[in-house]
């Protein structure tokens, strides 16, 4: 989880939470590791809570962390609508239950609450070119060894997140106001972006607004197009997606 250990990443997540969470609000981070991001949020005046699958020996003693929470075993041990802001940072790419987990997060996030999710960015121009050349996305970690026991496979990025699919999962589960960006820009990525931008723009516009009839019919063409052609997404190593939980249709 190199991204979450970087200073720029930590600052960005704290700023993101401050922008979407009322002062003193509650923040839950799933698989929080040592709790360093929650510790910063605690210092910023938020009420915080974390979970881990197993105890982290480096965990901050200042942060309440519930160990033994397996994100592949759903539902999560939280009441419906109990969470204001949930963080899922560099975690979802390890899990085979992505759609089910997004559904359960929609259950525990209260209407008006938010989800902040980060993951290695396979939509960047560098990742797209790597896939074109050798069939592997750029996921910031080696592919799982074939002699690795299944119970240890969670340590690897076996389930890279396809951004259009993630956007559908969020929208279908009642999340809206979805914002997509990325951090960790590199010089080579910027050069490739400048070189390939016209082709990416035209081909993505045709795909989202003409060739993908179901995306077009559902009114999501602009959402998907903006996400896939975002200059930060095309250049950054780490994808960050923020979404608000919408009130159920017909709710007062």
Average pLDDT over residues 118-143: 90
pLDDT digits (tens, 9 = 90+) for 162-189: 999 999 999 999 999 999 999 999 899 9
Average pLDDT over residues 121-141: 91
User: Which pLDDT value is given to residue 152?
Assistant: 84
Q: Is 218 within the bounds of a domain? A: no
Domains of the chain: total: 1
pTM for this model (two decimals): 0.93
Average pLDDT over residues 131-146: 85
- DSSP reduced 3-state for 8: helix
Q: Is 7 within the bounds of a domain? A: yes
Q: Is 213 within the bounds of a domain? A: no
Asked whether the beta carbons of 209 and 221 are under 8 A apart, the reply is: yes
* Residue 128's pLDDT band (cuts 50, 70, 90): very high
What DSSP assignment string belongs to 36-105?
HHHHHHHHTT-EEEEEESS--TT--TTS-EEE---TTSSS-SS-TT-EEEEEEES-GGG-S-HHHHHHHH
Q: Is 61 within the bounds of a domain? A: yes
C-alpha gyration radius of the chain = 18
Average pLDDT over residues 25-53: 97
Give percent above pLDDT 70 in the chain.
Answer: 96
User: For residue 251, is pLDDT > 60?
Assistant: no
User: Which pLDDT value is given to residue 252?
Assistant: 46
Which ranges of 91-147 would DSSP assign to H, the alpha helix?
98-108, 125-134
Q: Is 177 within the bounds of a domain? A: yes
User: For residue 1, is pLDDT > 70?
Assistant: no
User: For residue 45, is pLDDT > 80?
Assistant: yes
Helix %, strand %, coil % of the chain (to 5): 45, 20, 35
- DSSP reduced 3-state for 10: helix
Asked whether the beta carbons of 92 and 162 are under 8 A apart, the reply is: no
Average pLDDT over residues 191-201: 96
Q: Is 212 within the bounds of a domain? A: no
- Report CA 99 to chain centroid distance, whole Å: 13
* CATH code of 91's domain: 3.40.50.150
Range of the domain at 144: 3-123+135-186+236-245
Q: Is 230 within the bounds of a domain? A: no
Q: In the sheet where 175-183 sits, what is the strand order?
A: 65-67, 47-52, 26-29, 83-89, 109-120, 238-245, 175-183
* Residue 2's pLDDT band (cuts 50, 70, 90): low
User: Which pLDDT value is given to residue 47?
Assistant: 98
User: For residue 137, is pLDDT > 50?
Assistant: yes
pLDDT digits (tens, 9 = 90+) for 225-245: 999 999 999 999 999 999 999
User: For residue 249, is pLDDT > 60?
Assistant: no
Q: Is 203 within the bounds of a domain? A: no
User: Which pLDDT value is given to residue 150?
Assistant: 85
Neighbours of 15 (CB within 10 A): 11
User: For residue 67, is pLDDT > 90?
Assistant: yes
User: For residue 8, is pLDDT > 50?
Assistant: yes
């Amino acid at each position: 989880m190199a991204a979450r250990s970087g200073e720029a990443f930590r600052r960005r997540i704290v700023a993101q939470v401050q922008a979407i969470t009322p002062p003193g609000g509650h923040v839950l981070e799933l698989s929080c590791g040592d709790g360093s991001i929650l510790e910063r949020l605690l210092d910023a005046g938020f009420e915080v809570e974390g979970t881990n699958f197993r105890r982290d020996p480096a965990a901050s003693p200042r942060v309440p962390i519930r160990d033994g929470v397996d994100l592949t075993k759903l539902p999560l041990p939280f009441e419906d609508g109990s969470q204001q802001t949930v963080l899922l940072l560099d975690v979802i790419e390890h899990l085979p239950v992505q759609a089910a987990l997004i559904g359960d997060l929609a259950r525990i996030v209260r209407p008006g609450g938010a989800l902040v999710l980060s993951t290695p960015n396979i939509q960047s121009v560098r990742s797209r070119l790597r896939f074109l050349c050798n069939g592997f996305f750029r996921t910031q970690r080696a592919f799982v060894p074939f002699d690795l026991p299944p119970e240890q496979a969670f340590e690897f990025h076996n389930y890279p997140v396809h951004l259009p699919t993630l956007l559908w999962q969020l929208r279908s589960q009642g999340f809206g106001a979805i914002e997509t960006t990325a951090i960790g820009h590199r010089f080579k990525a910027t050069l490739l972006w400048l070189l390939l931008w016209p082709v990416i723009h035209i081909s993505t516009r045709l795909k989202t607004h003409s060739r993908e009839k179901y995306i077009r019919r559902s009114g999501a063409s602009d959402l998907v197009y903006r996400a896939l052609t975002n200059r930060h997404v095309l250049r950054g190593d780490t994808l960050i997606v923020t979404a608000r939980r919408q009130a159920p249709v017909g709710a007062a």
